[in-house]
């Protein structure tokens, strides 16, 4: 009678098979040691423990290969697949890099044409006042350097100085700044300032300058930072060359203030809801390095926005007669052209604007005024009055220096609420 066997893998007892037959375990399916032919000696029916180990080590698999040989084949195939995959990855690296390009560190200069500024696409669609500046371009010309020489005109210094303190960016690093707000009855409207740099900026340096850690908005860094005496502001980094600042001149910001900042930029000029404002931007000089545009349907809004500081003189005069206007600077080799376009509220208002501008005389500046109601002027242009002045950079700088007296205390050098 055959002696029972015990499976060396799962310890199942199995009735001994016929001599010379190589069975498999009915429980785990592993091959069992071949039962030797009977010799009549009990000692030969059951092999020694050491012999069984040797027999198991050399046992073949159902494929006819030993376990060691099969393992070697598997490892060899895996190594071959790894080498083939590595070679393919190296061979196609350039193709994959073209499909997924890394951010370029090359100098990037945008078009100065106002409607084409990339930063325009990040402003809320309902803005009715926009101002822009191209610091790097100004510093590349002799007249521009004169305009920005220290001490800078207040209206320029307030913006450039604040951006430098908040972000650590120098004027020569900035391709353009563009700020927008919506003038309504709200005393202190929200201001959105978009900064585009010519090279990618460093987030670590930005966080250090802001003294703030960031959270994420649309998977891009969002900072909440202090504006010293005027509250807090947001700075969002949608791209490596663009930052969007959301501010209030007095008081802090809230998360809801970010709702009108798009994840992806609007299609520039088409994004503006105000057709009158789009018309102003279309009239600005295509090479403008600094400009201002506003659409003000109701002049009384200025009283609400500026609070106890009431507009006087020129501001009040023009606001009552013009519902939209644009001003811009275009430097050339030896002088600066300072131009304006004013849209009259009525035919009478346009005629009065033209007369007011024509009476102006500024020493050292040439002045030309045209447009307004006339028989040969198309109806679409009849309410537009155009101003063009030209003079040396020093004279334009002097005119900009006097702007401090036209600004509310929140901006004034002597005012109680300076942007620090």
Write a three-state SS string for the chain.
Answer: CCCCEECCCCCCEECCCCCCCCCECCCCCCECCCCCCCCCCHHHHCCCHHHHHHHHHCCECCCCCEHHHHHHHHHHHHHHHHHHHHHHHHHCHHHHHHHCCCCCCCCCCCCCCHHHCHHHHHCCCCCCEEEEECHHHHHCCHHHHHHHCCCCCHHHHHHHHHHHHHHCCCHHHEEEEEEEECCCCCCCCEEEEEEEECCCCCHHHHHHHHCCCEEEECCEEEEEEECHHHCEEEEEEEECCEEEEEEECCCCCCHHHHCCCCCCCCCHHHHCCCHHHHHHHHHCCCCCCEEEEEECCCCCHHHHHHCCCCCCCHHHHHHHHEEEEEEEEEECCCCEEEEEEEEECCHHHHHHHHHHHHCCCCCCCEEEEEECCCCCCCHHHCCEEEEEEEECHHHHHHHHHHHHHHCCCCCCCCCCCCCC
Mean per-residue pLDDT, 181-192: 84
Label residue 39 by pLDDT band (50, 70, 90). Answer: very low
Residues 267 and 325 in one domain: yes
Question: Residue 389: pLDDT above 80?
Answer: yes
Residues 230 and 94 in one domain: no
Question: Residue 146: pLDDT above 60?
Answer: yes
Question: Residue 399: pLDDT above 50?
Answer: yes
Pick the residue with more confidence: 198 or 184?
Answer: 198
Mean per-residue pLDDT, 72-99: 81
In a domain, 96, yes or no: yes
Label residue 2 by pLDDT band (50, 70, 90). Answer: low
Residues 148 and 231 in one domain: yes
pLDDT at 206: 94
In a domain, 361, yes or no: yes
Which residues form the domain of 2?
Answer: 1-59
Question: Residue 95: pLDDT above 80?
Answer: no
Mean per-residue pLDDT, 211-237: 90
Question: Residue 417: pLDDT above 50?
Answer: no
Question: Residue 244: pLDDT above 90?
Answer: yes
Mean pLDDT score across all residues of the chain: 81
Residues 216 and 162 in one domain: yes
In a domain, 55, yes or no: yes
Residues 32 and 166 in one domain: no
pTM: 0.72
Residues 27 and 87 in one domain: no
pLDDT at 332: 87
Label residue 74 by pLDDT band (50, 70, 90). Answer: confident
Label residue 11 by pLDDT band (50, 70, 90). Answer: confident
State the sign of the Cα–Cα–Cα–Cα dihedral 374, 380, 381, 384.
positive
């Amino acid at each position: 009678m055959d002696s029972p066997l015990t499976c060396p893998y799962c310890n199942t007892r199995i009735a001994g098979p016929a001599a010379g037959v190589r069975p498999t375990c009915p429980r785990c399916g592993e091959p069992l040691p071949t039962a030797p032919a009977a010799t009549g000696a009990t000692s030969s029916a059951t092999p020694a423990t050491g012999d069984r180990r040797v027999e198991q080590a050399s046992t073949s698999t159902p494929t006819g290969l030993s376990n060691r040989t099969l393992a070697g084949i598997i490892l060899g195939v895996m190594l071959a697949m790894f080498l083939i995959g590595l070679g393919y990855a190296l061979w196609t690296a350039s193709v994959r890099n073209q499909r997924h390009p890394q951010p370029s560190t090359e100098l990037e200069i945008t078009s100065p044409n106002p409607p084409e500024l990339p930063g325009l696409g990040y402003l809320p669609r309902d803005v009715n006042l926009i101002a822009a500046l191209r610091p790097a371009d100004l510093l590349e010309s002799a007249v521009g350097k004169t305009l920005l020489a220290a001490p800078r005109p207040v209206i320029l210094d307030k913006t450039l100085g604040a951006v430098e303190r908040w972000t650590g960016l120098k004027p020569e690093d900035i391709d353009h700044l563009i700020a927008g707000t919506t003038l309504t009855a709200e005393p202190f409207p929200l201001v959105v300032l978009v900064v585009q740099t010519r090279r990618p900026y460093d987030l670590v340096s930005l966080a250090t300058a802001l003294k703030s850690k960031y959270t994420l908005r649309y998977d891009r860094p969002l900072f909440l930072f202090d504006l010293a005496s005027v509250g807090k502001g947001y700075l969002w980094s949608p791209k490596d060359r663009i930052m969007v600042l959301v501010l209030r001149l007095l008081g802090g910001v809230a998360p809801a203030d970010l709702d009108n900042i798009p994840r992806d930029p609007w299609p520039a000029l088409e994004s503006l809801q105000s057709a009158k404002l789009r018309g102003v931007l279309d009239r600005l000089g295509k090479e403008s390095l600094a400009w201002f545009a506003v659409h003000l349907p109701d002049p009384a809004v200025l009283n609400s926005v500026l609070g106890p500081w009431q507009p006087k003189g020129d501001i009040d005069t023009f606001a009552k007669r013009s519902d939209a206007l644009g001003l811009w600077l275009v430097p050339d080799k030896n002088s600066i052209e300072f131009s304006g376009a004013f849209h009259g509220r009525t035919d009478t208002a346009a005629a009065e604007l033209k007369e007011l501008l024509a009476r102006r005389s500024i020493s050292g500046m040439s002045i030309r005024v045209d447009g307004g109601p006339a028989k040969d002027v198309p109806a679409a242009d009849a309410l537009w009055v155009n101003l063009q002045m030209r003079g040396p950079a020093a004279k334009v700088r002097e005119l900009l220096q006097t702007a401090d007296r036209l600004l509310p205390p929140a901006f004034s050098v002597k005012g109680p609420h300076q942007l620090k």
